[in-house]
């Protein structure tokens, strides 16, 4: 679980953004845009880190009928740790390449594993959400819609959601596209403006 950070009276706690990345490519187009966004968040005074789902063990949901009645998910993998990090963040970014007109298998497995939190009415407390989807040709709308549905089911209230749909064909295209990188930085700027605003 994310450790609670003590804040002296009168001090503002630095907000944190956790990016959950569904790409299996460690240096792919999706990661390039996420890194641009996270670098901008750091520059603006928001702590950030990324979680690459392909580097974690996230098993598919097994649809236990009593999920809401048990104290912990029966699957023993990295999903609970990732969810603890995510649910401890002030803001989140979900990023995926488009595979077969939708989110990647890694992202879909992770989304499904949120069922345990949903069954226990544990809502994602993020104050702002960024969505990034990258495709070579088609499927941006479907992938972003899947991420939007996940956010809507996992949160309560009206959480601001910023989106970036990007076209990048070959590996390295996003990292070489100044316009896409700037769009990622702008998404980060909108997230930071919300997270750094006075309550």
The 8 Å CB, 24+ separation contacts for 38-41 are 38/93, 38/188, 39/185, 40/184, 40/185, 40/188, 40/189, 40/192, 41/17, 41/188, 41/191, 41/192
Q: Tens digits of per-residue pLDDT, 79-120?
A: 999 999 999 999 999 999 999 999 999 999 999 999 999 999
Give the pair of three-digit tokens for residue 69.
């009645």
**Pairing state of beta strands 91-97 and 16-21?**
parallel
CB 45 within 8 A of CB 60: no
In this prediction, residue 11 carries a pLDDT of: 59
Q: Tens digits of per-residue pLDDT, 136-162?
A: 999 999 999 999 999 999 999 899 999
CA distance 89 to 91: 5
Whole-prediction pTM: 0.92
List, in order of start, the domains of the chain with CATH numbers: 16-59+76-196 (3.40.50.360)
Share of the chain above pLDDT 90, in %: 85
In this prediction, residue 5 carries a pLDDT of: 43
Phi, psi of 33 (to 5 degrees): -75, -40
């Amino acid at each position: 679980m994310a450790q609670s950070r003590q804040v002296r009276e009168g001090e503002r706690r630095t907000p944190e953004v956790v990016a959950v990345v569904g790409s299996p490519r460690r240096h792919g187009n999706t990661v390039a845009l996420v890194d641009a966004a996270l670098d901008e968040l750091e520059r603006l005074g928001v702590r950030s880190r990324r979680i690459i789902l392909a580097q974690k063990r996230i098993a598919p949901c097994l649809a236990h009928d009593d999920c809401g009645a048990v104290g912990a998910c029966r699957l023993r993998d990295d999903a609970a740790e990732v969810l603890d990090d995510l649910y401890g963040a002030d803001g989140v970014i979900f990023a995926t390449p488009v595979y077969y007109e939708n989110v990647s298998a890694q992202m879909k497995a992770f989304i499904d594993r949120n069922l345990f939190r949903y069954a226990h009415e544990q809502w994602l407390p993020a104050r702002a959400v960024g969505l990034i989807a990258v495709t070579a040709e088609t499927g941006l709308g479907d992938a972003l819609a899947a991420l939007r549905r996940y956010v809507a089911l996992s949160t309560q209230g009206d959480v601001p959601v910023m989106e970036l749909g990007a076209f990048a064909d070959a590996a390295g295209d996003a990292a070489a596209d100044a316009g896409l990188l700037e769009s990622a930085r702008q998404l980060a700027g909108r997230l930071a403006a919300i997270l750094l605003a006075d309550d």
